[in-house]
Structures are given as C-alpha cells and as structure tokens.
C-alpha cells in the first residue's frame, strides 16, 4: 500500500460527484485501508495513477508495447497470489 501523506493546512479541498454505489465502495475501502479516511484513500489512488502515467510514458519512450488485457489479468492474479490456470494437454495418439 502506498503511504498517503495528509497534513492539515497542506491540503486543498475539492468536490467529486459520484454515484451512490461508487461512494459506498470508496467508503468501505477507506474503512479497511485508511481508518475511514476517504481523502487518504483518494490521495493514495492519485499517487498510484501518477506513477502509472510515468511508467506508461517511460515505456512509450523506449518502444515497449502496451500490456494486453490478458497480460494484465495474469499480473493481477500473481499479485493476489493466485496460481495461473494450467493449460490442458492433449493426450498422445
């Protein structure tokens, strides 16, 4: 988890329009990861997205192809500690 630094007087207030389900999910996630602090959760998400944008720029600059959806799913499964699905083998004839 990225550490989100929240300091009184050093932050700016803004507003977001979210549907009810999204807001409920954000609050639940903030409860689990930031003791209910939705601002800290959003700061974490923003920091992560900034890092992703920098990585994308780096890869584009050096000609690395973008990840496919399948590659992204495999990486995410690895992060979660899930074993990859085994390929089915054909029996010898």
Tens-of-pLDDT digits for all 93 residues of the chain?
A: 445 555 667 888 889 899 999 999 999 999 999 999 999 999 999 999 999 899 889 999 999 988 899 998 998 899 888 876 666 777 776
Domain that holds residue 24: 20-79
pLDDT at residue number 10: 80
**Does 1 fall in a domain?**
no
Asked if the structure places residue 62 within a domain, the reply is: yes
Residue 42 lies in a domain: yes
* 4 contacts 51 by C-beta, under 8 angstroms: no
What is the domain count for the chain?
Answer: 1
What's residue 92's pLDDT?
74
Determine, yes or no, domain membership for 48.
Answer: yes
Using DSSP's 3-state secondary structure scheme, residue 32 falls into: helix
- Does a structural domain hold residue 34? yes
Write the secondary structure of 46-88 as one string of H (helix), E (strand) and C (coil): HHHHHHHHHHHHHHHHCCCCCCCHHHHHHHHHHHCCCCCCCCC
Residue 12 lies in a domain: no
Residue 5 included in any domain: no
What is the predicted pLDDT for the residue at 42? 94
């Amino acid at each position: 988890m990225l550490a989100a630094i929240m300091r009184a007087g050093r932050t700016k207030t803004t507003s977001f329009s979210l549907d009810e389900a999204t807001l409920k999910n954000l609050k639940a996630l903030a409860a689990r990861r930031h003791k209910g602090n939705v601002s800290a959760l959003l700061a974490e998400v923003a920091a992560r997205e900034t890092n992703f944008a920098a990585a994308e720029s780096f890869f584009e600059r050096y000609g690395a192809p973008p990840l496919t959806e399948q590659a992204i799913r495999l990486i995410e499964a690895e992060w979660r500690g899930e074993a990859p699905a085994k390929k089915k083998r054909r029996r010898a004839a």
